């Protein structure tokens, strides 16, 4: 073992304790009641970064939640890495399904359980620990670092682009590093070269002006819940293809070589479907499960409501029915263009007797990088050193809105080196992060800085 690995091994408890401290802060960006906690989390992070040896750390206000910016620039001549992550977390609800409270971190079966354990505080703190290791072993870092840890990722990163444009000069760097994705399996390190984008919309169908007695009026006027069901059902055909005209126009076809590479990944498909709890895999005809969850666009209903849903029966003809619909996008789809086509199609599907309103929530561009760039090669070497096997090159189905913005505004190569597992229950009750991922990921981050310095 080298000095870095030895130091990290000997200081595991201390580094885990630092993660536990930040996991106690309920930095839920979506809920206004937690705005002060979000800020407290930013302040805590900034002062922790100063304590571990960064030369500068500050909390930068935005029109929304603050950004934490920190730097250490003591390696003249060496490359500069811009580390991005997020300290905000998803709402913990439904609370009754948590085995232990979401903001009282608990160790169970070699995993740290808390909201944000994996997404993304645990992964940000792998880097914090990796920097501590370098400072302890050699008093310096192998590369210059600039950190941008934001507080609005889980709500669409609305104000980050403005921050990036204003801070552009100060953020000058050679490479972007992000740990906010997953690995194929607990001992299969992975590097991600593509993320899907997002287009999030809402449909509201209104029939009668108020709820009606279904015996008195039923049969005479349209039912908005049935009308909504009709619209939603028509959005996909029997082959699982999305029916919105023009939806696939900008989709870049998957090259044959990439399809074979994806097919050759050590992906435990049966285990993945088992983990979902669904009875079987179902999706677009002609594509594998791996392609369906990472390289193909999707359309899903995230929530829908109408009429009476309480106990027992109520004979009512509802006035309103609504649904939240999200579409995951792939290169070169754009959320604005997809939304325009979606809205037009939904309107055209509306049956008689109802009014349909469509609205846009937020979107993210898809992201794709060239896996052959030198920074990616450095990450491949770092992962091979720490996990004793080469990483798998994967595409991920989730979205990190800022990745496309980084490409557009700063024009830099990006490394997505993440350590989440499919059973980490991110965004769900009982989120956790395996200590194998946390400690293995920390060593990988420490090695990554060395490999980036090697060029």
Which residues lie near ligand BES (CB under 6 A)?
119-120, 153-154, 156, 180-182, 198, 364, 396, 398-401
x/- track of binding to Mn ion for residues 84-123 (CB under 5 A): -----------------------------------xx---
Strand ranges in 26-141 using DSSP code E only, listed in sequence order:
56-60, 67-72, 80-86, 106-108, 111-113
**CB nearer to ligand BES: pick between 8 and 323:** 323
**What is the 3-class SS of 195-238, one letter each residue?**
ECEEEEEEEEEECCCCCEECCCCECCECCHHHHHHHHHHCCECC
Instruction: Pick what 396 binds: Mn ion, ligand BES, none; C-beta below 5 to 8 Å, kind-dependent.
Output: ligand BES
Q: Which is nearer to ligand BES, 80 or 298 (CB)?
A: 298
Smallest distance, Å, CB 272 to ligand BES? 13
Q: Are 162 and 330 in contact (CB under 8 A)?
A: no
How far is CA 341 from each of CA 2, 202, 354, 399, rounded to the nearest angstrom?
A: 56, 14, 21, 21
398 binds, among Mn ion, ligand BES, none (CB under 5 to 8 A by kind): ligand BES
Rounded least distance, CB 245 to ligand BES, Å: 25
Binder of residue 405, out of Mn ion, ligand BES, none (CB less than 5 to 8 A by kind): none
For Mn ion, how many residues bind (rule: CB under 5 A)? 3
Residue 431 interacting partner from ligand BES, Mn ion, none (CB closer than 5 to 8 Å by kind): none
Q: What would the x/- binding string for Mn ion be over residues 169 to 188, using CB under 5 A?
A: -----------x--------
Shortest-Cβ-distance residue relative to ligand BES: 398
Structure token digits, residue 452: 């980036």
Q: For ligand BES, which is the closer residue by CB, 141 or 178?
A: 178
Structure tokens at 282: 């179902």
CB of residue 154 to ligand BES, shortest distance in Å: 5
Lookup: tokens for 399: 């979205």
Helices 3-10 and 435-454, axial angle in degrees (round to 10)? 150
CA pair distance 455, 451, nearest whole angstrom: 7
Residues 29 and 157 sit within 8 Å (Cβ to Cβ)? no
Among ligand BES, Mn ion, none, what does residue 116 contact (CB within 5–8 Å per kind)?
none
Write phi, then psi, for 392 (nearest 5 degrees).
-85, 145
By C-beta, is 208 or 331 nearer to ligand BES? 331
Nearer to ligand BES, 78 or 325 (CB): 325
Identify which of residues 85 and 142 has a Cβ nearer to Mn ion in the complex.
85
Q: Is 406 left (phi over 0), alpha (psi -120 to 50) or beta?
A: alpha
Interacting partner of 424 out of Mn ion, ligand BES, none (Cβ under 5 to 8 A depending on kind): none
198 binds, among Mn ion, ligand BES, none (CB under 5 to 8 A by kind): ligand BES
**Residue 362: CB minimum distance to ligand BES, A:** 6
Q: What are phi and psi of 256, to 5 degrees?
A: -55, -40
Q: What are phi and psi of 372, to 5 degrees?
A: -90, 0
Q: Which is nearer to ligand BES, 37 or 450 (CB)?
A: 37
CB 79 within 8 A of CB 174: yes
Q: State which residue, 132 or 196, has the beta carbon closest to ligand BES.
A: 196
Q: What does the alpha-carbon distance between residue 78 and residue 45 come to, in Å, rounded to a whole number?
A: 26
CA distance 367 to 295: 11
Q: Which chain residues interact with Mn ion by CB under 5 A?
A: 119-120, 180
């Amino acid at each position: 073992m080298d000095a870095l690995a030895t130091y990290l091994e000997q200081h595991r408890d201390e580094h885990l304790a630092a993660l536990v401290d930040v996991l106690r802060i309920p930095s839920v960006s979506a809920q206004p009641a937690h705005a002060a906690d979000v800020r407290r989390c930013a302040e805590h992070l900034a002062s922790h970064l100063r304590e571990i040896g960064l030369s500068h750390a500050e909390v930068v206000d935005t029109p929304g939640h603050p950004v934490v910016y920190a730097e250490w620039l003591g390696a003249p001549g060496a490359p500069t890495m811009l580390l991005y992550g997020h300290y905000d977390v998803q709402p913990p609800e439904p609370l009754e399904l948590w085995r232990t409270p979401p903001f009282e971190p608990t160790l169970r079966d070699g995993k740290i359980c808390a909201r944000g354990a994996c997404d993304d505080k645990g992964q940000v703190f792998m880097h914090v620990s990796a920097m501590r290791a370098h400072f302890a072993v050699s008093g310096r870092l192998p590369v210059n670092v600039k950190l941008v840890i934001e507080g609005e990722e889980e709500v669409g990163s609305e104000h980050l682009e403005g921050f990036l444009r204003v801070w552009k000069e100060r953020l000058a760097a050679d490479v972007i590093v992000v740990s906010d994705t997953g690995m194929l399996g607990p001992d299969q390190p992975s590097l991600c070269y593509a993320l899907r984008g997002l287009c999030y919309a809402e449909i509201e169908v209104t029939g009668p002006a108020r709820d009606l007695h279904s015996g008195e009026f039923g049969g005479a006027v349209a039912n908005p819940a049935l009308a909504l069901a009709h619209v939603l059902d028509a959005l996909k055909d029997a082959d699982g293809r999305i029916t919105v005209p023009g939806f696939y126009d900008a989709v870049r076809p998957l090259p044959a070589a990439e399809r074979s590479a994806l097919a050759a990944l050590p992906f435990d498909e049966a285990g993945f479907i088992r983990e979902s709890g669904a009875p079987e895999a179902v999706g677009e005809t002609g594509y594998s499960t791996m392609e369906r969850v990472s390289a193909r666009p999707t359309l899903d209903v995230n929530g829908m409501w109408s009429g009476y849903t309480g106990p027992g029966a109520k004979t009512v003809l509802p006035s309103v029915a609504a649904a939240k619909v999200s579409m995951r996008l792939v290169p070169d789809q754009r959320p604005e263009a997809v939304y325009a086509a979606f809205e037009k199609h939904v309107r055209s599907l509306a049956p008689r007797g109802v009014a349909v309103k469509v609205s846009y929530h937020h979107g993210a561009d898809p992201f794709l990088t060239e896996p052959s760039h030198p920074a990616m090669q450095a990450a491949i070497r770092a992962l091979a050193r720490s996990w004793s096997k080469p990483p798998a090159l994967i595409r991920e189905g989730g979205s990190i809105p800022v990745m496309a913005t980084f490409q557009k505004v700063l024009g830099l190569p990006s490394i997505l080196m993440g350590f989440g597992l499919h059973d980490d229950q991110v965004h769900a009750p009982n989120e956790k992060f395996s200590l194998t991922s946390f400690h293995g990921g920390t060593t990988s981050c420490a090695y990554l800085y060395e490999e980036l310095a090697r060029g």
